[in-house]
Structure 1
Amino acid sequence: MPLLEHLRELKNRLIKAAIGVAVGAVAGWFLYDPILRELEKPVENIAHQTGGLSSVNFSTIASPFDFKLQLAIQIGLVISSPVWIYQVWAFIMPGLTAKERKYTLGFMIAAVPLFLAGVWVGWSVVPQVVRALTQFTPAGFSNMIDGREYIDFVTHMLLFLGVAFLVPVILVGVNMAGILPGRTILKAWRITVFLVFVLAAVAAPGADAISMFMLAIPLLGLFFAAIGVCMANDRRRARRIEKVAAETDAIADTPTSRADLENL
């Protein structure tokens, strides 16, 4: 496919993904109130536990509207995840063989529940993160949290963990497309392990390391499972190339008969 065709295809996929997010944002607009109440609970619990004042506030007149619009879009990103994940797969699909499409279709189907699982993990650890970060408030002081900053903090954590759970699927898809070999991914395992444990320490802070390991182990399991799939795919691709090369050499070494020359 020429470069212009690739760019045109990318534009079409981005437009479809944006439409999906917009439709999800409409649903998020109506889900705003119940989700906002759930997001406020960690702050309210801190106020009850410490006996101090902790609340989410708006600093300007237009902040409540901006807050609702931003939260609706963030909800729309989660709701429309099947749409934009499919658009990513549909964009790389033309460059794959029929057999590779079957593999990547399975990974694309797995990507949606993995992304949602990451969002759910983020939702589960948000109260611990908020409590851990606000426990440094000195006695006699209050936490007057800006609403926009609070929603940015929470939603970014949810989406970040969702994408973190999605990274192994992306790695496998890129490997299936022949862009990134499995050995190249494996070389970065030390950095990956370090980053995963840093993320787990931030997302699940506690008095012990159990919560950190409970969050880090699934992420590492997904990452190394993706490496195993990529390495197996590289070996399969290498065997296929060797087979084609052997068949080509066999054809080149076959002597040409008089009948073949006459047919030419």
Structure 2
Amino acid sequence: MAKSNPNEMSFLDHLEDLRWHLIRVTLGILICATIAFIFSGFVFEHIVFAPKRMDFPTYKWLCKASQFIGINDTTFCATEFPFKIQSRTVAGQFSADIWTSIYAGLVLAFPYVIYQLWSFISPGLHASERKYSKGFIFTTSFLFFLGVLFGYYIVTPLSINFLANYSISPEISNEFDISSYIAMVRSSCLASGLVFELPIIIYFFTKIGLVTPQVLKKYRKFALVIVLTLSAIITPPDIASQIIVAIPILILYQISIYISKIVVKNQARKQKRASA
């Protein structure tokens, strides 16, 4: 185990400390995954398969919005999607249940994972920096869950609506494999959750001197291209969906610039105090 004084820890002590943090993270995820597995019926019926039904809130909102602007012939106002979900392998449903529970456990245990990460790196920080631990864990978790919700309520239904109604010939019927469907839902939610961590990433990059507000402003145009490319990757290839996804990412980028300014000002203020 780690010594009481972090400054006296050897390399092997750090490895031992890291090992115990990883064990706690794994146990936390497994506990949450077990809970998700126990309630897998609820998870699949009311969460995983909810976006494939037309009574999903997003479709209702988009249907009303389309009718408000005078567009009545829209797929958002249909009665059902023209596709079925099938399991084409012997262990398909069991594997889907296991892996869905694991990823659900990862999402549920995310605040605990961040707490363990912070517990590992905090001994190397100054006392003034460690006092912000609660704020860091809350902000990081909030942004992640906000991104997951964005992926679930925006990216996932837009993707399903586009891909389910896309057809190259009436001779072809859509029968999606359960693993393919779940992978799309999972990637949309997790990718959005990680993208929403951009302000936190910029905060640490600014702290260690990798980026500055001036650099972020200078390469804003390149960032716009990257954002649009990222939006095209995690959404279906239609302009409306890409714009809907790109808008919050651009807002996060602007917030990151503001956060970077604050970090630089605080560092300059500390240097003045130290020199005085």
Q: Same fold (TM over 0.5)?
A: yes
- Residue in 2 aligned with 1:113? 142
**Partners in 1 of 2:15 and 2:211 — Cα distance?**
25
Q: Deviations over 1:150-184 (max 9, x none)?
A: 211211211111111123223324544x3634358
Aligned Cα root-mean-square deviation (Å) = 3.0
CA drift of 1:5 comes to 3.1
- Residue in 1 aligned with 2:174? 143
Question: With structure 2 as the length reference, what TM-score do the two structures score?
Answer: 0.75
Secondary structure at 2:84's aligned position in 1?
Answer: strand
The one-letter amino acid of 2:94's match is F
Alignment pair present for 1:238 and 2:268: yes
- Structure with larger Rg: 1
The share of aligned pairs that are identical, in percent, is: 29
Q: How does 1:51-62 map to 2 (within 5 A)?
A: 54-62=83-91
CA pair 116-99 structure 1, distance change in 2 beyond 3 A: same
Secondary structure at 1:144's aligned position in 2?
Answer: strand
Q: Deviations over 1:37-93 (max 9, x none)?
A: 2433444558x9598852111122111111100000111111111101112222221
CA pair 208-184 structure 1, distance change in 2 beyond 3 A: closer
**Partners in 1 of 2:221 and 2:121 — Cα distance?**
29
Secondary structure at 2:49's aligned position in 1?
Answer: helix
The structure carrying a bigger helix percent of its residues is 1
Structure 1: gaps of 5 or more residues? 248-264
**Partners in 2 of 1:159 and 1:53 — Cα distance?**
26
Q: Deviations over 1:108-150 (max 9, x none)?
A: 2111121111111111021211111232222131112111122
The one-letter amino acid of 1:154's match is V
CA drift of 1:243 comes to 4.1
Q: Which moved more, 1:2-11 or 1:154-163?
A: 2-11
Alignment pair present for 1:16 and 2:24: yes
Q: Contact conserved, 2:36 with 2:43, CA < 8 A, in 1?
A: no
Secondary structure at 1:133's aligned position in 2?
Answer: helix
Q: Which runs of 4+ in 1 moved over 6 A?
A: none
CA pair 195-208 structure 1, distance change in 2 beyond 3 A: closer
Q: Deviations over 1:217-258 (max 9, x none)?
A: 3322223323322332223223423443x45xxxxxxxxxxx
CA pair 130-241 structure 1, distance change in 2 beyond 3 A: same
CA pair 207-195 structure 1, distance change in 2 beyond 3 A: closer
**Partners in 2 of 1:221 and 1:53 — Cα distance?**
35
- Residue in 2 aligned with 1:252? none
**Partners in 2 of 1:65 and 1:226 — Cα distance?**
42
Question: With structure 1 as the length reference, what TM-score do the two structures score?
Answer: 0.78
The one-letter amino acid of 2:197's match is L
**Partners in 1 of 2:260 and 2:137 — Cα distance?**
15
Structure 2: gaps of 5 or more residues? 1-8, 55-74
Alignment pair present for 1:6 and 2:14: yes
Choose which of 35, 45, 49 in structure 2 pairs with 1:40: 49
CA drift of 1:12 comes to 2.0
Secondary structure at 1:145's aligned position in 2?
Answer: strand
Q: Contact conserved, 2:53 with 2:80, CA < 8 A, in 1?
A: no
Q: Deviations over 1:168-219 (max 9, x none)?
A: 223324544x36343586265444332323344565669774x644443332
- Residue in 2 aligned with 1:262? none
Number of aligned pairs? 243
- Residue in 2 aligned with 1:158? 189
Q: Which moved more, 1:161-170 or 1:63-72?
A: 161-170
CA pair 194-8 structure 1, distance change in 2 beyond 3 A: farther
**Partners in 1 of 2:149 and 2:199 — Cα distance?**
17
